[in-house]
Chain A
Amino acid sequence: MKVAIEVTVNRKPCRVEVDTRTVLADMIRDQLRLTGTHVGCGTGSCGACTVMLNGRTVKSCCIVAADVNGQEIMTIEGLADDPHHLHPIQESFVANHGLQCGYCTPGMVLSALQLLNENPHPGEAEIRRGIAGNLCRCTGYQFIVKSIQAAAEQLAPKK
């Protein structure tokens, strides 16, 4: 069954015809061609498909696309203001070797953004809890934690 939905994606309104069996991650990748959102496990464990839905991180492989009619989505492509610049969190991941293969990175960066929005000065344990829903098989997490710590220092209002 096909339905037409209207969503705001990276601050732009758009209308998409989706099969009701399509999950949000597939709609974002295959129909909107925003391939920064990755699909790892497809069952809500790995966090590679993390996007912001109405300003909160969710796993887009576990949401039916037809169920987000009228809502606001932000993908990794919407993080920086223009395509030629990186967001400070992205820059921090680059500077601190926070990625190797890059598969988990869009999800990691959005989880970091969620964390820093709510907690501008997270401790290491809080950072690890904040990215608990994002699996990385390359880095052993050390450099990801370091990247988020460095991003927090850069972004946070000074204490």
Chain B
Amino acid sequence: MISQEYEFFTPKQLAEALAILQRLAGKARPLSGGMTLVPMMTLGVAQPEAIVSLNHIAELDFVVETPEVIRIGAMTRHRTLETNTLIRRHLPLLSEAASHIGDVQVRHRGTVGGSLAHSDPAADYPPIMLVAGARMKIASAAAERWVVARDFFKGLMETDLRPGELLIEVEVPKLAGRFGTAYQRLHRIEGNFPIVNAAAAIEQGFRTARFALGGVGDKAILVEIGQPLRNGLTEAALQAVSEAAHAAAKDAPSDLNGDGHYRRAMARVYAQRAVKLAAAAIPAN
């Protein structure tokens, strides 16, 4: 039982949800899978005055492709990202990441939009959104706008979303045709948040290369490494990746899972692993 009273809305249309969010801007919280919000309410940590459930808005649950991108509705469940054939084919690192979130029950209910909007600094999706150059579609009752992933994640559980706005879609460029990609995470217990995670994407011919790290700051960090990798995966290039990861993780936090020094050391290891695997996965022309 949740102790704090709140108003509870279950709109079936997006427009209706946006109207409520506008009317109660700053007071209402959107509820997607609830895998974080409901326990927080049970514990009394979150005490919203109103809840707008998005679970009945069918138009927010979709995975479709265009020639260039995969469009994913915000209410698409993690389990769908894990198993969907379009995502597995064009963004294998994204289905890999989804498969590590929580456990089967959590993946059945939790959503991609909920996870992104929650903006946990060690969440599985943000490094992938950064290396893929994804963009987020944000709606309010008044307007719609797009924000690139780099500008969407602002800090510790902080995003570019303003009161009354809702993340409704994420659009991720299809990487598998031109890029080798990989996702790696360090965890001690199945289903836990990663201690450090890393995604990498390397273009054919090493034309562009980047990796992103999570768990080592207040948000995921994108690092461009096209220059050191221009001659391929040499010893010097891997050393440069390691140094870049260590530098990017300079503000790595300390907690029970590991102190900042450990996370910085692991940032080196996981960035290198992700880059090596991505290089090995570069598709032939």
In Å, the complex CA distance between A67 and B30 comes to 13
- Taking Cβ atoms with an 8 Å cutoff, the residues of B that contact A are 1-8, 10, 31, 34-35, 38-39, 42-43, 51, 53, 55, 79, 102-106, 108-109, 190-191
Partner of A42, one of B39, B51, B105: B39
- Do the beta carbons of A26 and B6 come within 8 Å of each other? no
In Å, the complex CA distance between A46 and B58 comes to 30
Is A61 engaged at the interface, CB distance under 8 Å to the other chain? yes
In Å, the complex CA distance between A50 and B3 comes to 22
- Do the beta carbons of B35 and A62 come within 8 Å of each other? yes
Question: How many cross-chain pairs have Cβ atoms below 8 Å apart between A and B?
Answer: 96
B185 to chain A, nearest CB (A): 15
In Å, the complex CA distance between A20 and B49 comes to 12
- Do the beta carbons of B42 and A59 come within 8 Å of each other? no
* A66 nearest CB neighbor, chain B only: B8
4 more A-B residue pairs beyond the given contacts A62-B38, A63-B38, A67-B8, with a C-beta to C-beta distance below 8 A: A42-B39, A44-B35, A58-B108, A62-B109
Partner of B108, one of A43, A57, A66, A67: A57
Partner of A64, one of B34, B35, B102: B34
* B38 nearest CB neighbor, chain A only: A62
Is A132 engaged at the interface, CB distance under 8 Å to the other chain? yes
Q: Which residues does chain A contribute within 8 Å of B105, judged by CB atoms?
A: 47, 50, 57-59, 111, 133
Q: Which residues does chain B contribute within 8 Å of A57, judged by CB atoms?
A: 104-105, 108
B257 to chain A, nearest CB (A): 16
Q: Which residues does chain B contribute within 8 Å of A63, judged by CB atoms?
A: 34, 38, 109
Is A78 engaged at the interface, CB distance under 8 Å to the other chain? no
Partner of B5, one of A21, A61, A69: A21
B158 to chain A, nearest CB (A): 23
In Å, the complex CA distance between A57 and B107 comes to 9
Q: What 1/0 mask marks residues of chain A from 56 to 81 whose CB sits below 8 Å from any chain B CB?
A: 11110111101101000000000000
A16 to chain B, nearest CB (A): 15
Most buried by B among A43, A44, A63: A44
**If A43-B39, A67-B53 touch, does A133 touch B102 (CB 8 Å cutoff)?**
yes
**If A26-B1, A111-B104, A132-B191 touch, does A64 touch B31 (CB 8 Å cutoff)?**
yes
Is A114 engaged at the interface, CB distance under 8 Å to the other chain? yes
- Do the beta carbons of B10 and A61 come within 8 Å of each other? no
Is A97 engaged at the interface, CB distance under 8 Å to the other chain? no
Q: What 1/0 mask marks residues of chain A from 127 to 139 whose CB sits below 8 Å from any chain B CB?
A: 0111011100000
Task: Report the 6 A-B pairs with minimum CB-CB distance, sorted nearest first.
Answer: A133-B103, A43-B39, A20-B8, A21-B2, A56-B108, A132-B190
B190 to chain A, nearest CB (A): 4
- Do the beta carbons of B5 and A62 come within 8 Å of each other? no
- Do the beta carbons of B10 and A67 come within 8 Å of each other? yes
B250 to chain A, nearest CB (A): 32
CB pairs A–B below 8 angstroms (9 shown): A3-B8, A43-B42, A44-B35, A56-B108, A67-B10, A67-B31, A132-B103, A133-B102, A133-B105
* B99 nearest CB neighbor, chain A only: A129
Q: Which residues does chain A contribute within 8 Å of B3, judged by CB atoms?
A: 21
- Do the beta carbons of B108 and A22 come within 8 Å of each other? no
* B37 nearest CB neighbor, chain A only: A62
In Å, the complex CA distance between A19 and B190 comes to 35
B35 to chain A, nearest CB (A): 6
B262 to chain A, nearest CB (A): 24
In Å, the complex CA distance between A128 and B190 comes to 9
Q: Which residues does chain A contribute within 8 Å of B31, judged by CB atoms?
A: 64, 67
B148 to chain A, nearest CB (A): 31
